Amino acid sequence: MSWDLATPFVIDLQVAAEDIDGLGHANNAVYVSWLERCAWRHSQRLGLDLAEYRRLDRAMAVVRHEIDYLAAAYEGDELQLATWIVDWDQRLKMARRFQLVRPSDGSTLLRAQTTFVCIELSSGKPKRMPAEFLEGYGPALQGS
């Protein structure tokens, strides 16, 4: 696969009938749910699942999505979605990039970047990342 960056974390997806909108292709909101699924699975792989977020009273919350929809996905398409952690300040903010590919023809259907801010779950307010986030997310930073 021709990924934009080296060493992606990748999940496999299949476009289901319920993902299709009135225009006959996967709805744009479905793509956002796929981004979330991929980010969560990557976090879980790094040892930072929902239980750990709750234990630490911290979470990475989305503050911005930038999405370029490049081509449509259709019912039955087998897709691969990759993510990379590309930036973080080791305090509050972290950024992930995404690339969605249809392996059957090599088409990139979407490129996106999501910015997250660390919040305290109990208050919902921005709060510095705990050491566990630095230890978990740090080694996954692209180029580290």
Amino acid at 75: E
The pLDDT tens digits of the residues spanning 44-81 come to 999 999 999 999 999 999 999 999 999 999 999 999 99
Domain membership of residue 106 as a residue range? 9-140
Residue 5 to residue 143: CA distance in whole angstroms: 9
9-14/78-88 β-pairing:
antiparallel
Question: One-letter amino acid identity for 14?
Answer: Q
- On whether residue 4 sits in a domain, the answer given is no
Q: Residue 118 is part of a domain; what is its CATH number?
A: 3.10.129.10
Q: How many Cα atoms sit within 13 Å of 118 on the Cβ side?
A: 22
Residue 100 resides in a domain = yes
Return the DSSP state at 140. G
Q: 93-122: b or e for each residue (b if 16 or more CB lie within 10 Å)?
A: bbbbbbbbbbeeeeeebbebbbebbbbeee
Classify residue 13: in a domain, yes or no. Answer: yes
Per-residue pLDDT at 82 exceeds 70: yes
Average pLDDT for 80-107: 97
How many distinct structural domains can be found in the chain? 1
Q: Is residue 3 part of a domain?
A: no
Handedness of CA 31, 36, 39, 44 (dihedral sign): negative
Residue 23 amino acid letter? L
1 assigned to some structural domain: no
**Is 2 inside a domain boundary?**
no
The confidence score (pLDDT) of residue 143 equals 73
